Structure 1
């Protein structure tokens, strides 16, 4: 958590900007600009609290941990690369879901490797803001990668298709007429160094619809890798909950008598 006079974790200048937890272009693309009101309004679920939001809501941003320059001009190319992926998932997601193949050439064209590397930097920037939010020590290796180093260190990440999300999105759309779009930010789980009281390891995930990016960060271990470095990526299919049980436990279908614990 940021206290005192926060500094930009990337360049060290005064922190005046908070990165979106969910990219605002994703929110607008999926749900419109807002405000979202009424019984069918888009909601942000955090700590089991559903709060009506708009795409500009403060609660959808991390605490201020970047300077304006780093969060805009300096990382603009990263944002554009992510937008290209999000547009592709919106337009061609059914194909990716059916084949289990994500072809970066379909997303970025012949310059697919450059696009994929910029996209990776977008996710590293997101992870850095998440680390700053929980008071973690951010490795110089991450910053060097954002500054152009080709060597990703201290972060391992991968992409997967979440079948439980596919099931719940399909059920809500087909049975309840809800949007087929969803955005995800997983809980942060980590390890605190006892001598310093600083978070030095963290694992979490973020996702758009059924496509999930998982990541592990380790301040001590310099190992870094991605599972999606080749042009054609075969996406593993996973779930934390049996997809059929997700649908069976739908709270809209069973508004009463549902045990939240």
Structure 2
């Protein structure tokens, strides 16, 4: 059995891991729809979006390994860390849920990632800026695709609206973590590596409010709850994702994508 790797503590590395891990785990969740989506076209669309996200994760994790300087490649960073060393937001590790949960989470995350990638195109880190230049195009498609489905469900049948409302009640409270700034964000903002995630809050709020309004839903009231996945303190669901993701690499050391 392959042992775990240790990650050097560094705010720039943490910032990159937050991006790469969030894309990786969201891609893993979307991949669970392969063969199970409600229609064939959507099966293909969700699989392609999962591949886009995993591609973004590969690029960012490869760069994170280079910045860390400890010789860790994309596969080691993706598959050989302990749960506490993953920096994805909790929202993406929540169970797949039904189709309403999936498209609403996609809309929330794609809107955020599009805003983030747009800002990262101006990063002082040339490699990260280049990754962002490609990724932003994918995020725009993901956002439009998810938004179309949110509106269709909201304006569809009583059941589709009910399911969408239930998904909103389940997911919305996890959005606050996206914009909870800390020392990692402050370092990124000060060095020009990337924006403080909290600086994206106003634009995200406006776009999501417009989308929910078109779907016939109200923006839920804020709550004091704050999830902590990007600090390495995850939900009970994260361990199950990693057990599935890491099995082959742990069992057959040296395997690559």
Identify whether the pair has TM-score above 0.5, normalized to the shorter chain.
no
Higher-Rg member (1/2): 1
Say which structure is richer in strand: 1
Where relative contact order (Cα < 8 A, 6+ residues apart) is larger, the structure is 2
* TM, length-normalised to structure 1: 0.28
Say which structure is richer in helix: 2
* TM, length-normalised to structure 2: 0.28
